Chains A and B, each alone.
Chain A
Amino acid sequence: MFRKFRKKSPWILHYNAGSCNGCDIEILACISPKYDLERFGVINTGNPKQSDIFLVTGPVTFRSRERLVELYTQMPEPKVVVAVGSCTCTGGVFRDMYNVEDGIDRYIPVDVYVPGCAASPELIIDGVVKALEVLEKKTKAMEKPRKLFSEATTKEGIVDRRECAQKVGEADAKDTE
């Protein structure tokens, strides 16, 4: 009964995992009058217990790792993780630096990757809209136990989250399933 309302009210939790603030400013620009993300019902809650979409920026510094995972676990299901910016997707210019983990998908599963340094507001909005689709799919998957028994994509014995996730701006291979 409530199914069709799920994607009409996505509340966002925004976390800066050691970002340079470039992407954060672009996220704020999305809420500003020009792009107006609120027309999709988006609220920037800042509270993990009440949010659906986890927007992460930054390449995950050592200090922010624990908070990142903590915030992720505090969010009630269904939830979607969006990695905003090149750093968050892969580590970006900070890749292989001594104090940086390369991207958040080493710690939490990511559903949508938004590239760009800094990611442009249009792309972030695109990513959030994509995340809404994923959110709907996830809620459907939650009802079916199929997901529990399906095979995970593994590479050399390690679960490859990057393969499981959907990417923005690319053809949806997963949609054809």
Chain B
Amino acid sequence: MIEILLILLAPVAGGLLYGFERVVRARMQNRQGPPLLQPFYDMMKLIDKQTLIVNPTHALLGVMHFVALWAVVAFTIMGGNLLYIVFLHLLASLFLVLAAFSVKSIFSHLGANRELLSMIAYEPILVMFAVAFYMLNGSFSIDAVRANPSALGSLLFLFLAFLFVVQLKLKKSPFDAAKAHQEIVGGAEVEFSGLFFEFVYMALWLEYVFVYLLLMLFAGDNILLGGILFCVAFLLVNLVDNATARVRMEHLIKIFLGIAVSLAALNLLGLAYV
């Protein structure tokens, strides 16, 4: 029962988290920042605005991106199969890429290409993330992860690699080349407007919920540790976002495949042989 409630409230929680993050980021820059409920004001405005539809497929795929991500969050909360969730999340991201390729805008295509490249960068880490928990618990089930004590000690390198993924999935600098706010005007989401941009916008909130839920799996059954991990990661992500400049796409891939994937693979080797 409480799970269903959590699933229904997931976008709201994500929106609050996003609003809080904007305030935190502003305070880090010594600014006042927008009100906490700003994402919801944006949402209301976007619903109200005129919607320009480029083609029906494009609009529909944007909605499917949101729905699929919600399903991913739902399965994560219910405690489903970790590997299944990782691939379903990949599918959700692919909907957005397909949407971006369905229009003729050059920025949209550029963003979609970068989105695909970033998938090449982070997807191995997410798969290894699932495999590592399988090696520890003998099952891909998230319930099993949540039932066992925290494995942070033996998954430390993987945790570090996962922080890279958090940074990329939340479209934070230095790994925000796929979105690249002013450079390619939002990338894959450039052609969405009004109500349909609303869905893509809310999908970002769900992305927040999803990524931080995965992060809290490192804490196992220790809810307090989960909270600490979340707070530390949240502050660290925003600090790095404020302090660094965007890296180019090829550098992003090099950093991910060079450092983050190595860390994760090293952790897997350690789990297997040590």
Contacts and interface: CB of A to CB of B under 8 A. Distances in A.
A153 interface: no
Given A2-B47, A47-B185, A76-B50, A36 B31 contact: yes
A50 B193 contact: yes
Interface of B: 22, 26, 29-35, 38, 40-42, 44-52, 181-182, 185-186, 190-194, 197
Contacts of B29: 33
A137 interface: no
Contacts of A77: 49-50
B205 to A, nearest CB: 15
Contact of B191 (A5, A40, A44, A49): A49
A41 interface: yes
A139 interface: yes
A65 B110 CA distance: 26
Q: Is the interface of B mostly helix, strand, loop or mixed?
A: loop
Contacts, number: 83
B131 to A, nearest CB: 39
Interface of A: 2-3, 5-6, 8-9, 11, 33, 36, 38-41, 44-47, 49-50, 52, 74, 76-78, 139
Contact of A33 (B31, B41, B49): B31
A145 B187 CA distance: 37
Contact of B41 (A5, A36, A46): A5
Contact of B35 (A2, A11, A36, A41): A41
B193 A5 contact: no
Given A33-B31, A47-B190, A52 B45 contact: yes
A33 B29 CA distance: 7
Closest 8 CB pairs of A and B: A5-B44, A76-B50, A49-B193, A8-B41, A9-B45, A36-B31, A9-B42, A9-B41
B246 to A, nearest CB: 14
Contacts of A74: 52
Given A5-B40, A38-B26, A50-B186, 15 more contacts: A3-B48, A5-B41, A5-B45, A6-B45, A6-B48, A8-B35, A8-B45, A11-B42, A36-B31, A39-B35, A41-B34, A46-B181, A47-B186, A49-B192, A77-B50
Contacts of B33: 36, 38-39
B50 A139 contact: no
Contact of A36 (B32, B44, B186, B197): B32
A62 to B, nearest CB: 24
Contacts of B51: 76
B197 A49 contact: yes
Nearest to B191: A49
A139 B48 contact: yes
